Amino acid sequence: MTNLEHLRKDFPALAGTPDMPPPVYLDSACMSLVPRAVLDAVEEYYTDYPGCAGRSLHRFAEEVGHRYEGTREAFARFLGAPSPNGIVFLRNATEGINLVAQGLDWKPGDRVLVTDQEHNSNLVVWQRLAAERGIQLAHLRLPSDGTFDAESLDRELDRGVRLVSFFHTSNLDGRSLPVREIVERAHRKKAEVLIDGCQAAPHQRVNLAELGVDFYTLSLHKMLGPSGTGLLAGAPERLARLSPLIVGGETVEWTTLTEHQLRPPPHRFEAGLQNYAGVLGAAAGLGYLEHVGLEAVDAHDRSVNARATRALADEPRVHLLGPEDPARRPSIYSFTLDGVDPNDAALFLDEGYRVMVRSGMHCVHSWYRERSLPGSIRASFYFYTSPKDIDAFVTGVRELVERIPASSTHAKSLPAVSRRKTAPRSPKRPG
C-alpha cells in the first residue's frame, strides 16, 4: 500500500460493492473525483445558510458572505497571489481565458502567441478575435521530446507580441513549460502572459508572485472541487484594465437611469447570484488537498506513472506522446496503439476491466489534425490512483494488444484507424 492509498476511502465514487469491484478511474485530467468533505460542504450551504452574499443583512447572508470571501483569501494564499482581490471566481478556466481575451482593448495587428499544443479553450477565442477584431495569431511549435526551445520563443517575441497565452502543463501529454523563464523573456519584450494552469495547480506548487504571470486561470473541478467552479487570478491593477464579460447585479457601485459605476475587481467580474455551494465546496476540496500536501501528490503521481511506464515499456505497439521520462509528465500517460482506434481501446478497458481512460483528441484537435492522427488514449493520475489501478490498466492494454493484431501496413509511429464501430465484447475480467 502506498502512503496515500488509505485516502481512497474518502472518495465515494471509488467504493465497490459486494458484487462489483471498485472502478479504476484514470481520467482525473478531465475531472478529479471529490472527497466526502466536498459533498458535505455543498450540502451544508443548502441546509445551514442558503443565503445570497453581499445583498441581505440576515444571518444566512452574512454567513455565506463571510465564507465566500474567506475562500477567496484561501485560494490567494494557495496560489501565492498578490491579493485576494486578484481572485475572480468563474465557472472554469475557459471562462477565465475568455474574460482576458474579450476584456482587453485590442487594436488591429496586435499579436497573440500560443503553442501548437493548446487546448481549444486557449485557441478558438483567439481565432475568433482574429476574425472579429483583426488581431494576429502566431504559433510556437513545441519539440516532440518535451523540451522547450527558448530561442524560438525569442524569435517570435522579436516580431512583436502583445500577449503570450500558454498552458502550464499540457493536458495532451503531461509536459510542463518553464513558466518563469517564459514570463521573464516575454516581459523583456513588453508582452503580457496568460497561463492556463488547469493541469498544473492540482499537482504541483504554484507561486504566482514568483512566476510573475499577469493572468493565471484554472478549473477547480480538476482539483477536488465541484463541477462548474474555476477562477482567474491576477494583480487587481491588471484585472482593472479588463472589461467584464457580463455586467449587472453585484458588479456596480451605483446606477442611474443613464449611467453606472463598476465596482473594483474582483466583484465587477462576478455578475448575479454566484455558485456559492460550488465555491464553498471547492474551499473544502482545497483544504483537503492542502492536508494531503502537494509534495506528496507529486511524488505519488510520479510513482504510479513510473509503474505504468515500466510495465508497458517492452510493448512495441505502445507509443508514448511527449517525454519518455515519467518524471517529466507525472500526472499523464498518453499513448497510441498500433492497429487500434483510441475509442475502441477506451471502450474495451471500461467494459472489460472497469478502467476509465479518455480517448480522442482531448480538445487539442489542431495538434492531431496536423499529424493526421485519429487521437490517443490518455490515462491520467491523482493521489487516489492505486498500484492496483495501474496493474488493471496494464493488464487491459496487454490483452487488447493480444486480441487485435497489428496492421502490417502502418508505420510504427502511427496508429492504424480501426474500422470497428464498437469495442470488442466480453473480454475476461481481472480476477
Chain centroid to Cα 288, Å, comes to 18
Candidates 262, 214, 251; CA nearest to 100 is 214
Please tell me the distance from the alpha carbon of residue 377 to that of residue 400, in angstroms, as a whole number: 13
Chain centroid to Cα 172, Å, comes to 10
Would you say the C-alpha torsion 275, 27, 203, 285 has a positive or negative sign?
A: positive
Would you say the C-alpha torsion 292, 293, 295, 298 has a positive or negative sign?
A: positive
CA atoms within 13 A on the CB side of 365: 4
Please tell me the distance from the alpha carbon of residue 182 to that of residue 172, in angstroms, as a whole number: 20
Contact (CB, 8 A) for 177 and 148 = yes
Neighbours of 43 (CB within 10 A): 12
Contact (CB, 8 A) for 48 and 59 = no
What is the C-alpha R_g of the chain?
23
Chain centroid to Cα 54, Å, comes to 30
Output phi, psi for 372, to 5 deg.
55, 40
Output phi, psi for 364, to 5 deg.
-125, 50
What H or E segment, with its residue span, contains residue 348?
helix 342-353
Contact (CB, 8 A) for 148 and 179 = no
Please tell me the distance from the alpha carbon of residue 21 to that of residue 136, in angstroms, as a whole number: 52
Tally of residues, the chain = 431
Q: Which residues are part of the catalytic machinery?
A: 363
C-alpha cell at 312: 508497458
Give 176's DSSP letter.
B
Q: Is 109 left (phi over 0), alpha (psi -120 to 50) or beta?
A: left
Contact (CB, 8 A) for 51 and 63 = yes
